[in-house]
């Protein structure tokens, strides 16, 4: 991207004169004086913005002159710079420099071979073709830039004292800009005013990151004035912010008022260029970044360019060709010297110089060396680089046009963002995948919850999912979740009965030149994010619905008497689900219009009077009765603590719970009219949801949407949200409007979010918090053992933790819900500190984090939720196929270990037959000991293949270590983020890799984005393998960029991953065809084409080289120079390009049916050392045949030199094209046309050239030579015999290979010749034979370990029990028992919290020499643990724990 004139002025222009006028402004003398002093105190590492409103006119001009304007230019060239800049870029290529060097050499008379113009022709043609291509691309960029720059917006003109229309390119930093609804923001603007009474502006960032959900931006603190319009003339502050950067999530600065007071702001007040204003009639602000300094432009890096593995290898072979050229030139120079020395005197044809002196043989040999370089220049294929670019463009076209990659729901095909690594798709050895949104749909479905230690299984919701057609054939989900291995529920997206919501807009949109229109219009008709029926239609649990309804009816009593019962926690739980989020409320008819006020359902005056009368009559005696009633209700619901799944025949239709709740609004809370405040407070809001309108929620994440819809299912409906208030409708229809005091957003460090609200009835300040269980459980209040209530809290937390483990093992995503009540004094103290942190300039983020951590302590646990993230369609089949293809698959996820392991089994990442090692530890020494022990055990049983070869008798690794399927037990590894940190910090990387490369699958849980990228780099750099990373979210960007190939999934989490990727797909299942089919084709086509190019050039150049032995190594050529130049540029250039784009060695059906065929690309069988050198030897052989057969035929005749060279040139064309015909596997019309067309074009050019060119190449005369040759029968005989003799060895080798089927690829090609039914049958038999070989586990050939055995081993189905001996020394106490909490592993003292858990389903019994104390078999109080007998856990014991440290 080139820089604009404004940018050049900014970087290289001199600052305006510092001598400001001493005449101060008459209107604002004090402000003018202050601004002059600021020039000395503002650091130049900050970005300073003065407003363009007439008050700071001198400062505005001085500083703005250093900033770029808003005009953008993404073009590379201008009319003046195109030619020199394009040539400079092209000569960065060494091949072009090489040919430029040859052109210069040919201008010296002593070394001239061709006419100077002829030598320049190949280089000129190549440079011209690339220049035309670059010019056309730049013209398209120019057209786009012109539309954007001429778009219209409204900027403030202080002379006219009003907003006037301007082009985008005329906007400057410091201008005040007003935007309206649906308008695209022209620059990065600091928000100072909106039409919203709460100072909120909603934007859609789809043009930046693809996310369609609305994001809130707030007016800078202190500028909210809903009652008065914003007047830019009165703005007298100076803005100081950070320098322009490309981080979309970072922005901070402050405003300095004339009184030196500073007001801080952050990214929540920044409107980014390219975003679209939604749900806001108008907004105004001041431009802080413009043009190329805006964050959108700084992130506009364009397509990614990488060097593929094949290209790197090709460059090495180019150097071999250079070496071969030097050797041939040295032979020619030495031969010329020897030939000159054979004359007794000077040769008769030698001409002396003007001084009568002859050139010495040594100097003549020196000149001849460079002459030979010019003559044999074609040995370095200049056209190869251009051909590779054209081939890759064609491959990308076919990739992007494959209808199998089309996603109808998103209306997207495969996107190729890196244009030059298509062949790398066929060589992938390791895949690193995210879990959420990549393997799963990222469509969160509320499944279960636990409140106050009571678990609610939501069996009706499971049946609701079955009604969608998403449950497997088994009935486990209808009965209740169990721990048995089963297939995950698959969401069927074919149900399209629900009509998509349409986005409407209320304000007139200012459109301009079409910029952004296409994407914006396409998104208006799309469905609102996270709003599919699968996610929104939650069927409530009948028992929980009844409890929640009764609890809501009694809520007023609890609030008045300040009594907190078990039932109160249910109300708090659902209020937390509805409140603790950032969900935007709109309506189904207008989903883009946020509801800022509550529903127009207001309690009647009569209801309010009844409530007042009720409270007056409520005496202390009556209160005690209320309390006893509450207690009795609590006791009645206490029996649901244990989970008792209903039989499979349970029907949902027994009771319409939702209807019952809807019809029961006449009692309790509604009759009492408890939320008069909700109705009165909402008077200042905009119009809310009208009666009968359907609520529509737009969330930033699917988790938030799932929880809000779950609360709505229990009639705790989120009705409206503003920055300061949130309204919830209770089951009785009454509205509660909470005052929002603070919102602590979610971040990856805290792993939670909190919202501080003031209760509308009790006026208490409540903190609602939701987050990961690992983050919440450690923040709970720590009660004493004496208080019964606090003991109950402890028991509640224990039960909730138990339920969380069940949820995780069932593959559910878990979230904990907690609350905290603050006193007014505590809140005031914390709020003051928070405000100071928000206003801080330095270390602002750290201070905000510290205040959040100080608040989120001593929480009271309310409950937890289990949300199912369902597997995408085709994920298990895809993983199974990729594994059969020899690809190692690692999953790097931030989810809980239990959740990730369950998903791994469901998607076939882990198999029932695998032995799984689970390593969790907090000690470096323990981690090292566990790794050492595990590696030792794995090496004992794993059959490892280490592929090695020898180059010049030196062993060289050409592959990696892979576990052999069927050669022994297969292993899996599960490791958590803490252990990964120890591995990276403790120099245990190589031991970790040593263990991981023997494992069939690796699962890294609780991983941070940095850990993900570190793991990818470690495997890529240390194992020297081809890696691919695939993800869908912003947390996967580092991992995607670290791999050789990055795949982004355009899913539910926006487009950050897509923007950072090389290829973008819609679903994980597309990876199967992308790699196994297109990857194989791209690699095979390009490798064969490159090998063919090297062969073609070497074979043709050797014809000239052999002729030197018969012309005294004089550098003469027997082929006309024009025909020789055209040979590579035109006659033989198009067929190999078509070959590289369209050839199919094996059909797509066969490649998908036999994934192991992919291994040929992993092993670089298409392009390796042997392939290259065999092609070189073949080229030498064919050149010998093509030269000496005509030589022997015409020996003794009187033909001239061109009459001898023309048949050689012709039969060389036939031989080279027929060689390509042997290599083509799939013939199409295009192949036939290019092959036959090349021959016809050659004869046409040769005949016309011979007939018209009399002295084109003086002093030689090619006139009528081709015509005479075509009239001679010997010419045709030579053109037939010579190609046959030249190609006979290659053809015979191909025949032998096809007869004896020496490799799987050849066998697969034979299968393609069969009809479909027979081919499918053969493929099935092939796969069965492969699986039968893998299923034969030769355990008898393995040396058995020396660990203790048991008599039960003889009963094992395999006749042998696989036993592990753990080298664990356990220190015993005086009583002979294991000391509590401590053990010794290989001499290292470790804690019992560190675990190495080995799972195996191969054997029934696994024994170890580790003594197990009685405490390990029992739970609290010495009682036997009951986890395994729980109905929820039944069937999930896939393995046995043999070591617990």
What is the per-residue pLDDT across 448-458, written as a single tens digit (0 to 9) for each?
A: 899 988 898 87
Name which residue leads in pLDDT, 33 or 846: 846
User: pLDDT for 610-635, tens place per residue?
Assistant: 434 433 443 334 333 333 333 333 33
State percent of the chain over pLDDT 90: 28
Range scoring the smallest mean pLDDT among 607-616, 857-866, 1147-1156: 607-616
Q: Considering only residues 1027 and 1262, tell me which one the structure prediction assigns the higher pLDDT.
A: 1027
Strands 282-289 and 860-871, by their bridges, are unpaired
Residue with tokens 């050529």: 1117
Apex CA 265: angle with CA 264 and CA 268, to 5°?
Answer: 160
Burial pattern 176-213, b for ≥16 Cβ within 10 A else e, equals bbbbbbbbbbbbbbbbbbbbbbbbbbbbbbbbbbbbbb
Q: Determine the average pLDDT of the residues in 298-302.
A: 67
Mean pLDDT of the chain: 74
Cut 0.75: pTM above it: no
What pLDDT, on a 0 to 100 scale, did the predictor assign at position 597?
Answer: 53
| pLDDT at 693 > cutoff 80 | no
Q: Which two tokens stand for residue 596?
A: 């800022």
Confidence of residue 512 (pLDDT cuts 50, 70, 90): very low
Q: What is the pLDDT of residues 140-161, one digit of tens each?
A: 888 888 999 999 999 999 888 8
Predicted local distance difference test score (pLDDT) of residue 120: 80
Which of 434, 1044, 1145, 1394 is catalytic? The answer is: 434
Among 382, 390, 385, 97, which Cα is nearest to 1097's?
382
Is the pLDDT at 687 greater than 60? The verdict is no
pLDDT at residue 1154 is higher than 60: yes
Is 1145 tagged catalytic? no
Provide the residue count of the chain. 1445
Provide the percentage of residues in the chain whose pLDDT is more than 70. Answer: 70
Q: Where are the alpha helices (DSSP H) in 1271-1403?
A: 1273-1300, 1304-1312, 1316-1335
What pLDDT score was predicted for residue 610?
42
What pLDDT does residue 635 have?
39
- Looking at residue 301, what is its pLDDT? 58
The closest alpha carbon to 1089, from 454, 170, 395, 589, belongs to: 395
**Section 357-380 average pLDDT:** 86
Task: Yes or no: say if 1292 and 1196 are a contact pair by the CB < 8 Å rule.
Answer: no
Q: Quick check: 1037 and 1056 in contact, CB under 8 A?
A: yes
Report the C-alpha gap between 823 and 825 in whole angstroms: 5
Over 657-696, what HEC string results?
HHHHHHHCCCCCHHHHCCCHHHHHHHHHCCCCCCCCCCEE
Considering only CA atoms, which of 209, 204, 212, 148 is closest in space to residue 181? 204
Highest-confidence range of 334-343, 579-588, 664-673, by mean pLDDT?
A: 334-343
Q: Is 1261 exposed, middle or buried (0-12, 13-18, 19+ CB in 10 A)?
A: middle
Banded pLDDT at 562 (limits 50, 70, 90): low
Q: Which residue has the higher pLDDT, 1045 or 1414?
A: 1045
In 3D space, the residue among 112, 36, 19, 49 whose CA is nearest the CA of residue 1257 turns out to be 112
pLDDT at 566: 65
Position 535 confidence tier, pLDDT thresholds 50, 70, 90: low
Q: 10: pLDDT confidence band, cut at 50, 70 and 90? A: very low
| 154-168, 842-856, 1390-1404: the lowest-pLDDT one | 1390-1404
pLDDT of 31 strictly over 50: no
- The answer to which of 850-859, 947-956, 1407-1416, 1417-1426 has the lowest mean pLDDT is 1407-1416
Q: Could you read off the pLDDT of 767-811 as tens digits, one per residue?
A: 999 998 888 988 888 765 555 566 777 888 889 999 988 888 777
Q: Which tens digit of pLDDT belongs to each residue from 1367-1390?
A: 333 333 334 433 334 444 444 444
The pLDDT assigned to 1398 comes to: 58
Q: Please report the pLDDT score of residue 822 as a whole number.
A: 92
- C-alpha to C-alpha distance for 527 and 512, rounded to whole angstroms: 26
Q: Which residue has the higher pLDDT, 962 or 1111?
A: 1111
Rounded to whole angstroms, how far apart are CA atoms 1047 and 1055? 12
With tokens 């293949």, the residue in question is 945
* Peptide bond connecting 1259 to the previous residue in cis, omega within 30 degrees of 0: yes
User: Buried b vs exposed e over 42-76: b needs ≥16 C-beta within 10 Å?
Assistant: eeeeebbbbbbbbbbbbbbebbbebbbbbbbbbbb
**pLDDT category, 1338, cuts 50, 70, 90?**
very low
Whether the CB-CB separation of 68 and 293 falls below 8 Å is answered with yes
Query: Residue 529: what pLDDT?
Result: 55
């Amino acid at each position: 991207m080139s820089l604009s004139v404004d940018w050049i002025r900014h970087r290289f222009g001199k600052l305006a004169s510092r001598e400001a006028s001493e005449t101060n402004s008459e209107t604002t003398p004090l402000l003018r004086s202050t601004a002059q002093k600021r020039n000395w105190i503002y650091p130049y590492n900050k970005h300073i913005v003065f407003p363009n409103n007439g008050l700071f006119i001198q400062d505005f001009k001085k500083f703005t002159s250093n900033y770029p304007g808003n005009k953008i230019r993404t073009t590379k060239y201008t009319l003046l710079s195109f030619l020199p800049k394009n040539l400079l870029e092209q000569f960065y290529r060494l091949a072009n420099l090489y040919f430029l060097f040859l052109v210069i050499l040919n201008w010296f008379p002593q070394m001239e071979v061709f006419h100077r113009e002829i030598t320049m022709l190949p280089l000129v043609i190549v440079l011209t073709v690339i220049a035309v291509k670059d010019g056309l691309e730049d013209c398209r960029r120019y057209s786009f830039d012109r539309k954007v720059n001429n778009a219209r917006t409204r900027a403030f003109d202080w002379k006219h004292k009003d907003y006037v229309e301007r082009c985008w390119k005329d906007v400057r930093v410091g201008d005040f800009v007003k935007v309206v609804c649906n308008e695209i923001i022209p620059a990065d603007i600091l928000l100072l005013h909106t039409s919203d009474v709460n100072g909120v502006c909603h934007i859609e960032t789809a043009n930046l990151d693809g996310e369609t959900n609305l994001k809130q931006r707030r007016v800078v603190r202190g500028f909210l004035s809903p009652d008065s319009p914003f007047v830019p003339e009165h703005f007298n502050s100076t803005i100081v912010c950070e320098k322009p950067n490309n981080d979309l999530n970072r922005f901070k600065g402050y405003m300095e008022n004339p009184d030196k007071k500073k007001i801080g702001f952050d990214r929540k007040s920044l409107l980014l260029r390219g975003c679209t204003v939604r749900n806001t009639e108008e907004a105004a602000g001041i431009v802080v970044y413009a043009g190329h300094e805006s964050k959108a432009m700084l992130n506009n890096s364009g397509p990614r360019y990488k060097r593929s593995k094949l290209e790197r290898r090709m460059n090495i072979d180019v150097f071999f060709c250079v070496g071969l050229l030097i050797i041939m030139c040295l032979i020619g120079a030495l031969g010329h010297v020897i030939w000159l020395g054979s004359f007794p005197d000077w040769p008769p044809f030698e001409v002396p110089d003007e001084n009568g002196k002859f050139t010495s043989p040594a100097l003549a040999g020196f000149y001849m060396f460079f002459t030979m370089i010019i003559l044999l220049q074609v040995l370095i294929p200049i056209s190869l680089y251009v051909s590779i670019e054209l081939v890759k463009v064609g491959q990308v076209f076919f990739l992007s046009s494959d209808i199998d990659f089309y996603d109808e729901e998103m209306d997207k095909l495969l996107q190729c963002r890196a244009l030059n690594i298509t062949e790398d798709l066929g060589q992938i050895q390791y895949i690193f995948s995210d879990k959420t949104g990549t393997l799963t749909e990222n469509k969160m479905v509320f499944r279960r919850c636990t409140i106050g230690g009571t678990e609610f299984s939501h069996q009706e919701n499971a049946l609701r999912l079955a009604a969608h057609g998403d449950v497997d054939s088994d009935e486990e989900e209808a009965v209740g979740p169990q721990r048995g291995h089963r297939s995950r529920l698959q969401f069927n997206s074919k149900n399209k009965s629900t009509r998509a919501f349409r986005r409407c807009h209320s304000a007139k949109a200012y459109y301009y030149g079409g910029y952004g229109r296409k994407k914006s219009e396409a998104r208006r008709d799309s469905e609102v994010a996270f709003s599919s029926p699968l996610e929104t239609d939650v069927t409530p649990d009948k028992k929980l619905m009844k409890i929640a309804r009764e609890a809501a009816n009694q809520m007023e009593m609890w609030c008045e008497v300040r009594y907190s019962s078990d039932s109160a926690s249910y109300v708090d739980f659902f209020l937390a689900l509805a409140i603790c989020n950032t969900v935007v409320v709109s309506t189904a008819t207008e989903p883009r219009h946020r509801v800022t006020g509550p529903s127009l359902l207001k309690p009647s005056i009569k209801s309010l009077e009844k409530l007042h009368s009720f409270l007056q009559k409520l005496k202390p005696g009556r209160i005690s009765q209320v309390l006893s009633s509450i207690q009795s209700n609590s006791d009645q619901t206490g029996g649901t603590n244990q989970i008792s799944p209903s039989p499979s025949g349970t029907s949902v239709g027994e009771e319409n719970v939702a209807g019952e709740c809807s019809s029961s609004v006449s009692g309790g809370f509604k009759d009492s009219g408890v939320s008069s405040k909700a109705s009165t407070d909402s008077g200042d809001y905009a119009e809310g949801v009208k009666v009968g309108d359907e609520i529509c929620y737009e969330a930033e994440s699917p988790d938030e949407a799932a929880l809000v819809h779950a609360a709505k299912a229990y009639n705790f409906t989120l009705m409206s949200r503003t920055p300061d208030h949130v309204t919830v409708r209770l089951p009785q229809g009454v509205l509660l409007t909470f005052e929002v005091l603070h919102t602590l957003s979610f971040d990856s460090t805290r792993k939670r979010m909190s919202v501080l609200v003031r209760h509308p009835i009790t006026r208490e300040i409540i903190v609602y918090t939701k987050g990961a269980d690992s983050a919440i459980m450690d923040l709970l209040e720590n009660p004493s053992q004496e208080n019964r209530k606090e003991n109950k809290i402890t028991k509640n937390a224990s039960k909730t933790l138990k339920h969380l483990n069940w949820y995780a093992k069932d593959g559910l995503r878990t979230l904990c819900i907690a609350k905290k009540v603050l006193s007014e004094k505590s809140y005031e103290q914390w709020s003051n500190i928070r405000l100071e942190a928000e206003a801080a300039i330095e270390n602002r983020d750290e201070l905000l984090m510290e205040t959040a951590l100080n608040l989120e302590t001593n929480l009271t646990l309310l409950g937890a939720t289990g949300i199912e993230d369902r597997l995408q369609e085709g994920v298990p089949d895809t993983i199974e196929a990729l594994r059969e293809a020899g690809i190692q698959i690692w999953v790097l996820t931030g989810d809980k270990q239990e959740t990730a392991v369950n998903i791994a089994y469901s998607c076939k990442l882990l198999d029932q037959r695998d032995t799984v090692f689970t390593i969790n530890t907090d000690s470096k020494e323990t981690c090292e000991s566990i790794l050492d022990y595990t590696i030792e055990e794995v090496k004992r049983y794993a059959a490892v293949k280490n592929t090695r070869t020898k180059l010049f008798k030196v062993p060289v690794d050409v592959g990696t270590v892979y576990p052999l399927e069927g050669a022994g037990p297969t292993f899996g590894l599960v490791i958590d983020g803490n252990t990964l940190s120890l591995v990276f910090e403790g120099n245990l990387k190589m031991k970790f890799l040593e263990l991981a490369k023997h494992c069939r699958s690796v699962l890294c849980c609780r991983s941070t984005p940095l850990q993900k990228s570190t793991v990818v780099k470690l495997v890529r750099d240390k194992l020297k393998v081809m890696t691919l990373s695939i993800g869908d979210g912003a947390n996967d960007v580092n991992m995607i960029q670290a791999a050789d190939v990055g795949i982004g999934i355009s899913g539910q989490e926006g487009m950050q991953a897509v923007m950072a990727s090389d290829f973008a797909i819609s679903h994980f299942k597309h990876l199967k065809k992308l790699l196994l089919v297109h990857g194989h084709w791209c690699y095979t086509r390009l490798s064969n084409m490159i090998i063919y190019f090297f062969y073609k050039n070497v074979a043709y150049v050797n014809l000239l080289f052999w002729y030197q032995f018969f012309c005294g190594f004089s550098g003469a050529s027997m082929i006309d120079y024009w025909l020789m130049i055209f040979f590579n540029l035109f006659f033989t250039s198009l067929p190999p390009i078509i070959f590289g784009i369209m050839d199919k060695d094996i059909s797509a059906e066969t490649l998908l049916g036999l994934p192991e065929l992919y291994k040929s690309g992993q092993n670089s069988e298409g392009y390796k050392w042997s392939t290259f050198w065999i092609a070189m030897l073949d080229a030498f052989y064919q050149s010998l045949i093509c030269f000496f057969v005509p030589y022997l035929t015409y020996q003794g005749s009187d033909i001239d030199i061109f009459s001898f060279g023309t048949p050689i040139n012709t039969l060389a064309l036939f031989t080279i094209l027929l060689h390509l015909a042997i290599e083509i596997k799939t013939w199409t019309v295009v192949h036939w046309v290019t092959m036959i067309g090349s021959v016809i074009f050659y004869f046409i050019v040769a005949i016309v050239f011979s007939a018209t060119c009399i002295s084109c190449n003086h002093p030689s005369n090619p006139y009528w030579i081709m015509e005479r040759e075509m009239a001679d029968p010997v010419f045709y005989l030579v053109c037939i015999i010579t190609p046959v003799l030249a190609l006979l060895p290659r053809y015979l080798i191909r025949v032998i290979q096809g007869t004896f089927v020496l490799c799987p690829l050849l066998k697969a090609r034979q299968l393609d010749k069969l009809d479909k039914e027979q081919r499918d049958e053969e493929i099935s038999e092939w796969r069965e034979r492969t699986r039968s070989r893998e299923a034969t586990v030769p355990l008898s050939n393995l040396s058995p370990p020396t660990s203790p055995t048991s008599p039960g081993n003889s009963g094992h189905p395999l006749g042998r029990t696989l036993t592990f001996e753990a080298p664990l020394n356990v220190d015993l106490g005086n009583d002979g028992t294991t000391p509590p909490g401590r053990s010794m592993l290989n001499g290292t003292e470790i804690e019992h919290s560190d675990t190495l858990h080995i799972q195996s389903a191969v054997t029934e019994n696994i024994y170890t020499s580790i003594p197990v104390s009685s405490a390990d078999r029992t739970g609290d109080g010495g009682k036997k643990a009951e986890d395994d007998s729980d109905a929820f856990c039944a069937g999930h014991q896939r393995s046995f724990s043999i070591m617990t440290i």
